[in-house]
Structures are given as structure tokens and as C-alpha cells.
A and B are shown apart, each in its own frame.
Chain A
Amino acid sequence: MSPESANPLLELVGIRAGYGTIDVLHGVDLRVMPGQVYALLGPNGAGKTTTLGVASGQIQPHAGSVLLDGHEVNGVSPDRLARAGVCLIPEGRGIFPNLTVAENLRMSTYAGVSYKEVQERAFAQFPRLQERRNQMAGTLSGGEQQMLAMSRALSTDPAILMLDELSMGLAPIIVEELYEQVATLAEAGLSILIVEQFAQAVLGVANEAAIMLHGKILRTGPPEEIAEELTAAYLGMS
């Protein structure tokens, strides 16, 4: 399918949002088309995570609207959005450390896929998780924890996947492995919104990219071009 012809799957229009009375986002517009892999790049503190927070219902915007497949979803709780197919893997291992691996997987079943199915798919993708299914998730290695977090994306057939700093604090080889999974998902036609500080990791999978700085999206375009300018933006602006 060609991205331009369809309606955007996720659209943020004029989003102003933040914490307390202080705005972090000053009018963010963003559209993720069906089947698109959209990389949102930018330095620390640019408002990338806040953008994902707004898109997933965790943060209510002060102004603007969030549209999912054309429907306005402002004010809808994050758990309802999650059951409707919005899958956000938060920054820094989205796992429950005091639950076992299997129990973490059971938590993925709210989106409608059965426990058995979730387990089968997760273990097929990451056999290492099967070996450790009765281990506390908090005792897994960093890479295994991120695999466990990713397995929710892989096993629950989400409508849109949002990944926040997937590569943070992980060895390059593991990052590569995780992005291979992302690429597989992308090939299968899943729409993905990726947030990263460093462009290198996402360049292979993204087909649209944007630079975010100080709460605004500065520029969108093909990933290669954006990556080049990103370096300049980092040096020049922050």
C-alpha cells in the first residue's frame, strides 16, 4: 500500500502538553500512515517521550487533538487505548521486575490474544525467555528484559507500535537483534513510531523521520537526510 493515499493511522494535531503548568510540547503535529515506520529523533529533553505519552493516553494534552485512525481519542485512558491496540513499550525496560517472565507475558493478554498464544509467539521469537519463564523478570539481563518488553509487541497483534529508546543502555549486538525483530514487524505491515536519541539504530527500518527539538518538530523527511541534519542540529542547537 502506498502511505500517501490512505488516512493516517495516528495523527497529532497542534499538541501542547507537559507536566503541571509547564508545557514541554509547544504545538506538535505528527502523522504516522498505515504501514509506515516513523522515527522521531532528537536530543535529550526534546519532548519525544512526552509525545509518546500523549499518543498513548498517559498524558492529556493542554491543547490539540490525538486522532487514531481518524477518531479523536483525547481523554481516553491509556488502558482503553492499550486494549484497542495501541502498544507502547516504554523507555528503560517495560517489564514488571517482581513478576516472573511467564506472569509478565500473562499481562500482555489484555489486548485480546490468549495466554497460550502469547507464550507460543514470544517463546518462538525469543527462545531464551522460555528457558527463564519462571524466573523473576527483574533478575534477567538488560537485553533479556528488553526482549521480554518487546515480546508484548510481537505477540499481541497491535494496531500501532510505539517504541521509546529501544537501544538505551544495551550492547550493540543486542540492539541489532531487537531491530531485526522490528524490521520483521515492519515488513508484515505494522505501523511503528520509534523514538531514539541516536539515528544510527533506526535508519535501517524507518521510512520516514523527524527531528524534534525543544518541544517542536523541526523537520520531517527521508531518514537519510534527516540523519545528516540531526548531527548539525545537535551541535548547533543544544
Chain B
Amino acid sequence: MIFGLRRSVVAATLLATLGAVVLAVLTWKGSQVTSESFLVTTYIGLFLGALWAMYATGLVVVYTTTGVFNFAQGAIGVFSAFLYWELHVNRGWHSILALFVVVCLFAPALGVTLDAVIMRRLRTASLVVQLMVTVAIMVLLLSVVGDIWEADTPRRVPYLFGINNGIDLGPSQLPWHRLIVFAVAIAIAVSMRFLLRRTRIGTAMRAVVDNRELAALNGARPNVVSSTSWALGSMMGALGGILIAPELGLDPATLNNVVIIAFAAAAFGALRNLPMAVIGAMLIGLLRAHTGAWLDFGPDFRFAHLAVAPLILLFVVVALPQARLEVGRLAHHLRRHERYTKWWEGLFGCGVVILLAVVFSGGWLDFGIWDPGAWGSRELNSANEAMALALIGLSLVPLIGWAGQINFAPLAFAGFGAFVYLKLAGDTGNGYWILLVGLLCAPLGALVALPAARLRGLYLALMTMAFAQAMSLIFFPHPWVMPIIGTGRQFPHIELFGVTFDDRRGFFLLMVCVFAIFVYGLVLLRRSRYGRRWMAINDSQAASATLGVPVVWTKVVVYAVSASMAGIAGVFWATVSGNVDSVQGFDLLIGFNIVLLVAAAGVSIPMAGIFLIFIPLFKGFGLRLEDAGNVDFLVTLLDIMTTYGPGLMVLGMVFNPRGAIFEMGRGFSPILPWRSDARAEIAAENAQKREPEIGELGLERPFNPEEVIAIDRRLGILDDVVPKEGYGTARS
């Protein structure tokens, strides 16, 4: 302990500082540092910090008062900023009126609705479900924004009071807007701190997370209290979105990514400490401004200065001691009717999938407009893309579904696989290298697993997210990693068994085969010793350790398996279009979408992967119907299903946390002739509904006194505590 800090924290901080200094010396731009330019950079940094502090305050308030870490905080800001634009710019309302309507009416209403419809039911859900649902809300909000306000119109949100009005600072001007932002951010943070610590409603907001029932016994109205929390959090998100939009432009993805910086700031305050979160936001703002002003990372690392926040998030999450995360929340234990898929069932299922794919794409049968055999290159391309994403998604089944290790970086693993393949196979397209790709990606997974070994739940989610973002900003855009070749294919067509898969249909079938192999491999893995260990550490790490399961090693293995699956999938993903956009292609939102898709399907069941094939099918049908031009309704329906489907299905997890496929499978399996167990289970459930006739044997409920006496009498052991005068008088 040094100054009350753990030695590891001090060491990590020193190391990070040293690294930063070395980096600074190496990349020094050489421009003159004057007190003026230094001051201007500082004020820009503080202003940026203030904006992020606003988001971070919202996050911390919602987290401390509801126990839910809201990934949708940024998306609420995006939606509000667009709404503000619509009212103020498009409809010409006065800025103050528009601001009032959005921040004080719309945002609280949204927060209260979210709480009443969704969040209240999430209280006892597992962390995976909680996280997935807030991510689903984020994706849905962004999809709605994309649908209402089409992207091709350029939009600008003006500064409050204009950019040219403000205080003169000599070399530059401090616009009122920025001054207001700074003041508002500080005021919000201070008043939230006051609210949470010094008022009864604030105390109740925190108390409700600790023990909702007890809060009610004290006389607080828990539902009103948690709705207040969500309304406040939502208002802060809205205000942040509107105030930051003039600086960043009105682009959903850019605006939404701001939330990562806010995550870093919030993590700085261990997710619950408001003043530390604000200080963290200011520090990140200053760092960001000063690196931008004085350092030049060269054209090869042209996005590196944007990586300040994800790197800080990585550092904070890995190095700082963690706050207690389980905030008095009762873990909801689901009754598991887990059944291993038998090896021949897996084989049968995979065979059926391949057969169906061949029959449908072969063109031998005529299904009219529904015939995938008649698909053109556009439909096939879209189906291929979706199929490749589904392959990447499968890699999450052992990691998230079984081991319970949340991972938002599947795309980073996939991209790494593509990169390895590019370096190995070069422009030959030799498919045999893919196996080696699988092997070489495993160490990357293991590398991520090492810090992950001591992280749990939410911190793990944040770490993988920061990792994905850092990779997409620093690693992938480097020209050596994914060189851009003029007009040709960066990734040549794959050649396997002497066949070049240059035909889209053939490539689709190849991917279906790989998909089937993956699914079957997962079925076997689930039945193996490792499969059981992964399930065990998901249930309880402590219990697994006492049974002799090497927890860290088990985690390393599951990450390695997942990474190598994702790496192989990444090769196909890159080969679909032949070129990977190294800047846009690794956007965090795509990664989120993959995770959502898998979660919606039912992340723990390998056969659920089959569901992922529906998405490419829907995509293809949608495009085909659009071409045919006369069935608008169906096109819209399929469009909605592909855009909103995964998000909506994840919201469905609120009511049925095992995912859609699990429930479908439960409905479907009794039809299969060999599944007598499924029929028995349904029968048992129906019997249970007939309570209280069944379950009388003292197992479902205790015997009542008459029954005890009756049994004692039968056994001849009736003792003297029989109902005499006075006993049972209280009976109705």
C-alpha cells in the first residue's frame, strides 16, 4: 500500500505514464508551445470534458439508482438531438421552446416509459440479459433515427446563441454555447450529487437499488422512485446529445460513440462516484485536446488520437480496483431444463440444413418469387454478408452462452483472422491456410482472456468494448494491416479441394457447410468436459474452484476457442465482398448487432445458430421482392424484420430470458418421435398448473396438520401432540 493505493495500481499508473511520455516524445509535432496556444487547447479540453461529464453523470446516476448500466444513454442523446433539429431547424421553433420540449417533456417521458415497460422487469434478470436489453434499446433507437431522418440529408444543429457571440479571449473567442455547456455540466453534476446525498428522494433512489422491498416497508414508492431515476438519466442524455451535436455534426454513429468516452469517465469513478466521474471526463477531455494539438501520429495511425478514451477505459477497467458490482440484487435463478443435444441429433440437424441450402439454391424446384435459386448477385451478396456475420456470431455461443463471458469484440477477433489470412495466403486464396488462421487467432483470444480472468460481468463488457474500439482505431486502419489495392479484390476467392469459389452461390454453400461444421463442433464441445466446465464457471466461479476446476485456464481456453472460430469466420466475412473497409468495416455498432442477433436467438444453444440463417434469407427475399416491385407490404415487413427484428427479439428476453429459439424449440421438440423427454416435461408442467391436487406429498408444500396426524396414525406413531381442546380453533 502506497498512499492507500494498491501497489499494482501505482505500478500500472507509472507504466502508463512512462509509455505516454515515450509516445509523446516520439510523436512530438514540433509546434511551438506558447502560453496562449496552451491555454486555448486547455479550454477546448475542459469544454470537451464538460460535454462528456454530462453523459457520464447520467450514466452514474442511472447506475447508482437502478443498478442498470445503460448502454442506450448515447442513443437517447442521438434521438433527442435529431428531435431537437426537427423542431428547431426543420419546423422553426424557437431554440428555448424546442429545448424545453425535448429535454423536459420528451426525455422524461421516454425514461418513464422505458422504466415502466422494460427496466422494471429487468431487476431480477441476469447481467447478460440486462446488458443485451440496453444494447437492444440503443440499436432500436438508432434504427428509428435512421428510418425517420434519412441519412442523405445534411443536417446541422446550430450553436445556442450562435458561434460568433461570446467572450473575447484574445487569440480566439469563447462562444456562449461552450460557456453554457461548461456551466450546465458542472451545475448538473453538483446538483445530482446534492440530490443523491442530501435529499430524501435521492437517498430513496439509492436505497431502492439496495433493497427494493425494504424501501417500500419504509414508505417509499419504489416504482415512482425508479421512474424518477430513469427520467433524470434520460434528461441528461438528451441535454448532452443536443449540446454536443453542434460540435460533432448530426450523425447517429458519431454521436453515439461519444458514449464510450462517457463510459471511460464513469469507470474512472468506479461507475458510482459522481465527482470522480466528472474529474475523469475532464482529464480525458484535456488529454484528448492536448494530444490532438501537440502530437502527430503520422498518416499510418491517423485515428490514434481518437483512441484516448478507449485506451483510458481499458486502463481504468484493468488496473483500478473494482467496486462491488452486485448491488444487493438477487440473482434470478432460472429453472434449467438443459438437455444435451445428442451427437446424432446434431449430425441430423446439420445435414438437414445443408440439404435445404442445396435444394433451395439449386434451382431444381420452382418456388416462384420465393425461390432463392433465382436470386441475382445483389440478393446473393447480401445473403452472403449476413451469412458471414452469422458465422462470426456462432463464435459467441461458447463464450457468452456457456461461460457467461460477455464479449463485444467478436468483430475485432474476426478482423484479426482476416488479417492473419491476408498475411499467410497473400493473393493466392489458398483455403487450407484457414485452418492455421484458426490456430493463430487462439493466442489473441488468450491474451484478452488474461485481464478478463479477474473481471466480471459489466467490467468485462466494458473491457471488450474498449478493446474492440482500440483495435478499430489503431490496428485495422494501419495500411500494413489491410492494404488497399486499387480496384481488384484485396481478398481473392477462396480455393479449396481444387475448386475456386468465385461463384456467389457456391460460396454461400461453402459457408453453410462451415456453419454446419461449427454447429456440430459446438454440439460436441457442449458434451465435453470443457463444455461442462464453462457452464460451471458461469454458474459459480467459487464453487467451480472448490471442485478443482482451474478457473483462469478454463476462461483462457474458452476465449481461445471463441477467437479461433471468429478468426475463421472473419476470413469468409472478408472474402464475401473481397475488400474490407478498414475504417467503417469495424464499427462498434456492427459488433453490437452480431452480439444482439446471437442473444436474440438464444445464446446458449448451438442449434440456435440455425436461426441466424433466417436473417440472410429474409434479406435476400426482401431484395428480390423489391425487384419484383409489386408487393410493398411484404418488402416493408421483411425490411422491418431485418432492421428491428434482432432488437425487438432481445427485448423479448425481458419476458423470456432464454431467447427465442429456446422457446420455439420447446414447442417444436415434442413432435420429434424420439423426444419422449420433451413430451414428459410438457405433461409435468401442465400437471403443475393443476395445483393444488398434485404435489401433495410434502415436496411442493409442507403437510398440513391433519395430514401429519393421518400419516402418524397409519404408522402407529401418534404422539401426544394431537389436536385437543383449543387446537385448531383458529382454523377457518
Contacts and interface: CB of A to CB of B under 8 A. Distances in A.
A78 B213 CA distance: 9
A217 B704 CA distance: 11
B218 interface: yes
Contact of B702 (A27, A152, A215, A219): A215
Given A99-B207, A217-B730, A237-B721, A94 B691 contact: no
A183 interface: no
Given A30-B730, A214-B704, A79 B207 contact: no
B705 A216 contact: yes
A108 interface: yes
B704 A96 contact: no
Contact of B703 (A58, A103, A214, A218): A214
B602 interface: no
Interface in B185-206: 197, 200, 203-204, 206
A107 to B, nearest CB: 5
Contact of A214 (B197, B216, B705, B730): B705
A219 B727 contact: yes
Contacts of B704: 26, 214-216
B97 to A, nearest CB: 37
Contacts of A33: none
Interface stretch (A15-23, A167-175, A192-200): A15-23
B476 to A, nearest CB: 41
Contacts of B702: 45, 214-215
B251 interface: no
B720 A28 contact: no
Nearest to B688: A21
B702 to A, nearest CB: 5
A56 B328 contact: no
Nearest to A18: B701
Chain B, interface residues (CB within 8 Å), range: 35 or more
Contact of B328 (A13, A97, A213, A221): A97
A22 B219 contact: no
Interface in B679-732: 688-689, 691-692, 695, 700-705, 708, 719-721, 723, 726-732
B216 A79 contact: yes
Contact of A110 (B218, B708, B720, B721): B218
B200 A106 contact: yes
B327 interface: yes
B327 to A, nearest CB: 7
Interface in B84-120: none
Interface in A28-86: 28-30, 45, 56, 58, 64, 77-79, 82-83
A99 B701 contact: no
A96 B210 contact: yes
B217 interface: yes
B217 A78 contact: yes
B721 A236 contact: yes
B203 A99 contact: yes
B220 interface: yes
A98 interface: yes
B206 A98 contact: yes
A146 B701 CA distance: 31
B203 A98 contact: no
A218 B207 CA distance: 38
Interface in A194-229: 210, 213-221, 229
Nearest to A64: B732
A143 interface: no
Given A217-B730, A218-B705, A108 B218 contact: yes
Nearest to A232: B721
A26 B730 CA distance: 11
B222 interface: yes
Given A22-B691, A106-B203, A109-B200, A56 B701 contact: no
Contacts of B214: 90, 94-96
B37 interface: no
A161 B688 CA distance: 37
Contacts of A219: 726-727, 729-730
Nearest to B214: A94
B354 interface: no
B551 interface: no
A45 B204 CA distance: 32
B401 to A, nearest CB: 28
A163 interface: no
Given A27-B732, A217-B730, A97 B217 contact: no
Contacts of A221: 726
A26 B222 CA distance: 30
A79 B220 contact: yes
Given A14-B732, A24-B701, A29-B732, A90 B217 contact: yes
Contact of B218 (A107, A213, A215): A107
Given A216-B705, A232-B720, A107 B204 contact: yes
A162 B294 CA distance: 67
Contacts of B527: none
A79 B222 contact: yes
Contacts of B727: 218-219
A103 B721 contact: no
A27 B731 contact: yes
A111 interface: yes
A58 B705 contact: no
B730 A28 contact: yes
Contacts of A220: 729-730
A216 B703 CA distance: 11
B44 interface: no
A222 B544 CA distance: 51
A178 interface: no
Interface in B212-256: 213-222
A141 B37 CA distance: 56
Given A79-B219, A214-B703, A98 B730 contact: no
B220 A58 contact: no
B173 interface: no
Contacts of B204: 107
B694 to A, nearest CB: 11
B731 A216 contact: yes
Contacts of B217: 56, 58, 78-79, 82, 87-88, 90, 94
Interface in A80-138: 82-83, 87-88, 90, 94-99, 103, 106-111, 115
Contacts of B729: 219-220
B124 interface: no
Contact of B731 (A23, A29, A83, A97): A29
A175 to B, nearest CB: 21
Interface string B568-579: 000000000000
A233 interface: yes
B211 interface: yes
A213 B704 CA distance: 8
A152 B218 contact: yes
A98 B328 contact: yes
11 contacts: A14-B732, A22-B700, A77-B221, A88-B217, A98-B328, A103-B206, A108-B218, A216-B728, A216-B731, A218-B727, A237-B705
Given A58-B216, A218-B723, 12 more contacts: A29-B731, A79-B218, A90-B214, A103-B206, A107-B200, A107-B204, A107-B215, A108-B218, A110-B200, A210-B730, A216-B731, A218-B705
